[in-house]
């Protein structure tokens, strides 16, 4: 069984909605990944690397609303600065990841509660 987390621990992570405005292949990644630029409204446009290449193309990601943790420290992935962690659910065993997104349009930068 997974260790239980407190409600306070959950709310320390800021999960927000953003819209992908640009997506490209991350050529230096050891595991295939994309470079994403995501508009979080008042928070601005943040970058993320995402291993979601099996089920999505860069073209179909642009305009898609995604959820991401926005208050983790930035990381460098294959020479690319990743500011946020895009959330998805791994399915199957071949690197397939399904993105998590709201079922209705929400304002950019909206926080998940």
Inside any domain, residue 92: yes
Cβ neighbourhood burial of 38 (10 Å; 0-12, 13-18, 19+) = buried
Tell me 71's DSSP state: S
* Number of other CB atoms surrounding residue 82 within 10 Å: 21
The domain total for the chain is: 1
- Residue 79 maps to which CATH number? 2.40.50.140
Q: Which pLDDT belongs to residue 10?
A: 86
As a whole number of angstroms, the distance between CA 76 and CA 67 comes to 20
**What percent of the chain has pLDDT above 70?**
100
Q: Which pLDDT belongs to residue 87?
A: 98
Mean pLDDT of 17-30: 96
Inside any domain, residue 3: no
Q: Is the dihedral of CA 89, 90, 92, 98 positive or negative?
A: positive
Question: What's the N-to-C CA distance of the chain in angstroms?
Answer: 24
Domain range for residue 77?
Answer: 15-99
């Amino acid at each position: 069984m997974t260790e239980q987390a407190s409600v306070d621990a959950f709310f320390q992570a800021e999960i927000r909605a953003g819209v992908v405005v640009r997506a490209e292949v991350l050529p230096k990644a050891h595991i295939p990944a994309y470079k994403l630029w995501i508009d979080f409204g008042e928070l601005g446009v943040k970058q993320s690397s995402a291993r979601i290449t099996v089920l999505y193309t860069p073209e179909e990601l642009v305009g898609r609303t995604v959820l991401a943790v926005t208050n983790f420290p930035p990381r460098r992935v294959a020479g690319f600065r990743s500011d946020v962690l895009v959330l998805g659910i791994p399915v199957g065993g071949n690197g397939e990841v399904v993105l998590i997104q709201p079922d209705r349009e929400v304002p950019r930068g909206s926080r998940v509660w």
